[in-house]
Amino acid sequence: MADSVKVRLMRKLAEVLAAVPGIVTVARHQGKPIDLDTVRKPALYLYDERETRGKRNRLATGEIDLHLVVWIDLTPAGESSFPDVADNLAAAIHNALIGTAELRGLIENIEEVSVDKQYPNDLYGALVMRFKLTYCHAWGDAFSVAY
- Tens of pLDDT, residue by residue over 108-147, are 899 999 999 998 888 899 999 999 999 998 898 888 877 6
Whether the Cβ atoms of residue 63 and residue 52 lie closer than 8 Å to each other:
yes
Average pLDDT over residues 12-31: 90
Backbone phi and psi for residue 123, each to the nearest 5 degrees, phi listed first: -105, -35
CATH number for the region 5-138 comes to 3.30.70.1700
Angle, in degrees to the nearest 10, between helices 5-18 and 82-98: 140
pLDDT > 90? residue 70: yes
**pLDDT, tens digit, 9 for 90 and up, residues 26-62:** 998 777 788 888 889 999 999 998 899 999 888 899 9
> Rounded to two decimals, what is the model's pTM?
0.88
